[in-house]
Structure 1
């Protein structure tokens, strides 16, 4: 397969962390390859509640991506094959034909140049706060008060949103999420704001605070990445993801993953947009 300089530049332009690897030529479509191989290869990385490996058994036993991957493999009559990757090299793994799909990758403009995504969203992240247990928070206006101290990562979407919607609050900006969470842990702020997945691990680690999606909710979709150009496989993913989402199965798997991670699902925002109020 001849790779032109233009094609390499296009892949490199897909963003930092996306390696300029040639797409592997394949005679058959992904669905045919999966059935011949007998396995559906799903990219996994230790990141509860999306993926979780049992340290005792070494098996990928929990996580939304694990549960959904197993269900999709079963629907094809094949085995679920977890392949360890990182968030940074998942795109390269797809391009190199090391995995067939990867759950919980956002369909950014940069990534769309390198891989394909189904039209249907896998789930929705919500802009949330991890707040003091005694801080009344239901709406953004509850936080828009003098004396309320908020932390966030500077120059991010969260920073822009808080600046616009909570201008009366004392917004303290930090280089990244770790520093913003540390400010909450030390009591320097009353709440830390970010899209809710990182706050799940923070709440689990700190053992304090309440996770709230203030209204009106601000949510963005996440997706499933697949190799570029296989429209039949992407259409199959789109149909499966859509059915799991509409039936509520996606939310059920998510809640099971949260419980396995040691969190009460009732205290965590849902990932179905229609359930976010």
Structure 2
């Protein structure tokens, strides 16, 4: 009789444990499917912010955030979710960890990489990061050339790039005929193109874009085809966010990108960054 009672108790305990697990799973799924609703109930959207122009910038005097990702986060929170937006200071080393530890709801301006995708989810890209070329329009050696990588990979064409960077690695693998001039820093590589000791400046597209806007009289930015090291630049979110909730943000970003509004924000942020410098 005792053994029968023990057996019954064990069965009841197992059932209760299983019920608890199912309830916990259902609760977790409900929370995942109501990510934006939970933020609306709290009344604030927290955006993890690691400064890097033109994506995210912080005024050292006022501590106010700007930059095109900051503007997107502010607009999405205020006009879509109808909540306040709070920018939380972060660094590039802590953006992913902050999502995982619930220090912020969205991390701004993260390049999409497989390694990061193992830990977090990505929105649709707001912009694409890639390596671009910058040339002097007055240089006859590159005047009239198109956008194909093969147009520039010729004997007599010199590429200036900062040594040891991902740009250096990418251009070294792609160029077969041209000469690569490796410089110790950004300033040196820019001086090389300005003095025409080099014909093509190889750098991240956002950095070259800033430089081109600051020197419109002679500088021209080119996106080579095929692309070099192209990645989406997106918002990072917790992995628990459901597809339905992610779609809300993706629709917002895709619409603003399709209308050219994000390009306008990029240009405004770039002009602001140059003015600050």
Alpha-carbon offset, residue 112 of structure 1: 0.7
Q: In the TM superposition, what is the alpha-carbon distance from 1:44 to its structure 2 partner? A: 1.5
Secondary structure of 2:234 counterpart = strand
The residue aligned with 2:156 is 147
Task: Out of 179-188 and 94-103, give the one that drifted further.
Answer: 179-188
The equivalent of 1:196 in structure 2 is 205
2:88 match? 83
Shift of 1:111: 0.3
1:66 matched to which residue of 2?
70
Q: Does 1:221 align with 2:225?
A: no
**RMSD between superposed Cα atoms in Å:** 3.1
CA contact (8 A) 1:151 1:180 kept: no
Aligned to 2:59: 54
Contact 1:151 1:192 in 2 (8 A): yes
Q: Which residue of 1 aligns with 2:18?
A: none
Aligned residues: 234
Q: Which residue does 1:244 correspond to in 2?
A: 256
Tell me if structure 2 keeps the 8 A contact 1:130–1:191.
yes
Report the equivalent of 1:182. 188
In structure 2, how many angstroms separate the alpha carbons of the residues matched to 1:225 and 1:192? 31
Q: In the superposition, relative to structure 1, how do residues 184 and 259 fare at CA in structure 2: closer, same or farther (>3 Å)?
A: closer
CA distance in 1, matches of 2:181, 2:173: 14
Change (3 A) 1:206 1:253: closer
Q: Which runs of 5+ in 2 are unaligned?
A: 1-27
| Deviation at residue 181 of structure 1 after TM alignment | 5.0
Alignment partner for residue 102 of structure 1, among 98, 104, 107?
Answer: 107
Greater Rg, structure 1 or structure 2?
Answer: 2
Q: Which residue of 2 aligns with 1:15?
A: none
User: 1:183, CA displacement in angstroms?
Assistant: 3.4
More helix by percentage:
2
The 3 A distance-change label for structure 1 pair 81 and 108 is: same
